A and B are shown apart, each in its own frame.
Chain A
Amino acid sequence: AQSVTQPDIHITVSEGASLELRCNYSYGATPYLFWYVQSPGQGLQLLLKYFSGDTLVQGIKGFEAEFKRSQSSFNLRKPSVHWSDAAEYFCAVGGSSASKIIFGSGTRLSIRP
């Protein structure tokens, strides 16, 4: 069955500290992987995506993610978080001709001043 697991419901990090949000997926075919961010009161915005090529993907706002096929993971990282990064982050998986994307349950990120 296709699924996405984000094991961390809520993470708090200090401003300026590094960040890693975990994502594990289960998908029968070659996965297309996404990270979306939802700021308070806003819709979802795409941070980055992976569908082929280099397994380290750069996104907007200084985020990056690494696809590890052997671990079925697509973890999101940022070397130094800013207070404006406080939001909810969703990992998602789809396929090249998938009818839909499957979303994880989200990780809420809080920033400690």
Chain B
Amino acid sequence: DADVTQTPRNRITKTGKRIMLECSQTKGHDRMYWYRQDPGLGLRLIYYSFDVKDINKGEISDGYSVSRQAQAKFSLSLESAIPNQTALYFCATSDPNGTPGDEQYFGPGTRLTVT
């Protein structure tokens, strides 16, 4: 089984709808991240969490919110989806007490299309 899973893998939604993307991990890591990937822009950080009680904004948090329900679960919500949120979304985890440099482990991604 994959260490980092994301659901759904693909989603098409309409402008104005609320949508939640979910991430679960079995690695036992405290740190979790949400990124979006757009062609030519690489990965940009949306939100990150160092533990269940710690939530931090990344560089592009506007229009998004997150919830860290447990150490293993980190959800990303779009309260009112808009077309420019169409992207590939990745969840990642890391363990700062493990390998130096905060190596991250990625889920398979969720492709979101907002029409």
- Residues of A whose CB lies within 8 Å of any CB of B are 6, 9, 32, 34, 36, 42-46, 49, 51-52, 90, 94-101, 103-106
Contact = CB atoms under 8 A, between A and B. Distances in A.
A90 B42 contact: yes
B102 A101 contact: yes
Interface of A is mostly: loop
Interface of B: 4, 33, 35, 40-45, 48, 50, 56, 58, 90, 92, 96, 99-109
Contact of B100 (A32, A43, A106): A32
Contacts of A90: 42-43
A12 B37 CA distance: 22
A90 B109 CA distance: 16
Given A51-B100, A99-B50, 10 more contacts: A6-B42, A9-B40, A42-B108, A43-B4, A44-B43, A44-B92, A44-B106, A96-B101, A100-B48, A103-B42
